[in-house]
């Protein structure tokens, strides 16, 4: 990967362009990190539960999962529903969130432990709750790299 910075004294604001052949997970992570650094995508989430709308910070959410065509946001004690699909959430969430399976995105900030399983999905546990989520083998290395990077 090449990184190039051009100084333009006439520019109104900084502009980041990513030129790539395809948007793979590495490029998507760079995009999310840049958005988070620029303060984009860090707003509140509109979530629903029982006919009431709630507005939560992304950091309050442990993980998002999709099941039966619906997308759910799990906090330590509650489950909410969002109208956004996982791919839409991936673009909006700060870089501390990571896709860990076809049906789940998790926030790395509250991870307590990871039970690694070399032949199947690994299990992530969170601080302060009984909730847990599976990480598919395909995404395990990305999670491991993310956790190492966050040190």
Nearest one of 96, 121, 101, 99 to 111, comparing CA atoms: 96
> The domain spanning residue 102 has which CATH number?
2.40.50.1020
pTM passes above 0.85: no
Q: What is the pLDDT of residues 124-151, one digit of tens each?
A: 999 889 999 999 988 998 888 888 865 4
Q: What is the pLDDT of residues 63-94, one digit of tens each?
A: 999 999 999 999 999 999 999 999 999 888 88
- Please give the pLDDT value at position 151: 46
Range of the domain at 32: 25-149
What distance in Å separates the CA atoms of residue 87 and residue 77, rounded to the nearest whole number? 25
What is the CA angle 31-40-135, rounded to 5?
55
- DSSP state at residue 59: G
3 — pLDDT class (breaks 50, 70, 90) = confident
Does any domain span residue 80?
A: yes
Domain count, the chain: 1
121 Cβ contact list (under 8 Å, min separation 6): 101, 134, 135, 136, 137
């Amino acid at each position: 990967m090449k990184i190039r910075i051009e100084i333009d004294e006439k520019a109104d604001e900084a502009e980041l362009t990513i030129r790539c052949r395809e948007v793979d997970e590495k490029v998507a992570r760079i995009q999310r990190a840049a958005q988070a650094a620029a303060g984009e995508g860090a707003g509140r989430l509109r979530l629903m539960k029982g006919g009431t709308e709630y507005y939560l910070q992304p950091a309050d959410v442990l993980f998002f999962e999709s099941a039966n065509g619906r997308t759910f946001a799990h906090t330590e004690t509650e489950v909410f529903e969002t109208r956004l699909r996982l791919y839409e959430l991936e673009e909006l969430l700060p870089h501390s969130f990571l896709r860990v399976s076809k049906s789940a995105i998790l926030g790395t900030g509250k991870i307590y432990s990871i039970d690694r399983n070399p032949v199947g999905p690994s299990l992530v546990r969170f601080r302060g709750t009984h909730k847990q989520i599976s990480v598919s083998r395909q995404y395990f290395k990305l999670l491991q790299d993310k956790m190492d990077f966050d040190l």
